[in-house]
Amino acid sequence: MAQGKTYQDLPQSVLFCCDHNSVRSPMAEGIMKQLYGQQCYVQSVGVKNDLEIDGFSIAVCAELGVELSRHRSRSFDEMEDWGDDLSSFDLVLALSPASQRRALDLTQFYHIEVEYWPILDPTGLGDNREARMALYRQARNQIRDRLIARWGPGIDAQDD
C-alpha cells in the first residue's frame, strides 16, 4: 500500500458521475472496482442517459483487465429506479463540470462530499482510431492515477 494509505481511508460508497455515463464515469467505476474490490460500494451515473457505453472505453479498459461491455448507462434521475438513493453515498466524484453542478444541486440537503476531478473528455477528439485510442487511454490513466493517489495502489499491490 502507498505510505499512509489504508483501506480504512476508503469511503463505504462512491458515486462517479459525468455527462452521459458512457465514457469517464463507467471507466472510473470499473477501475475502482478492480483496484479495491468489495472494500467499497461503487456506482456511476450521468447527467443524461442518452448514449450507450462507448466502444473505445470498453477497449482501453480491457487492456487493464477491466470489463465494461455489460455496463448499462443511467442518469441521476434513473438512479433511484435502479435501487440506489443518492443520500446513501458517502462521496460523489464528478468528472465533468456539468455533472459537478448537477451533483451539488442534488446533494444540497444531504451531508455528502462532492469532489470535482477534471478528467479529459476524449469523445470527438482524434483524427483516426489510434489517435482516439491514445486519448481514451489518457483519460483512463488520469482516472487510475487519481484513484491510486487518493486511496493507494489497490488489492493486488498489497501482496507485494
What is the distance between the alpha carbons of residues 149 and 160, in angstroms, rounded to a whole number?
18
Where exactly are the structural domains of the chain? 7-152
- 7-152 belongs to which CATH class? alpha beta
What pTM was estimated for this model as a whole? 0.89
157 or 46, higher pLDDT: 46
Tell me: pLDDT of 2 over 50: no
pLDDT of residue 9: 84
What b-and-e string marks burial along 80-113, b requiring 16 or more CB atoms within 10 Å of the CB?
Answer: eeeebebeebebbbbbbeebbebbeebbeeeebe
Taking only the tens place, the pLDDT of each residue in 101-144 is: 999 998 888 889 999 999 999 998 888 999 999 999 999 999 99
Q: What is the mean pLDDT of the chain?
A: 88
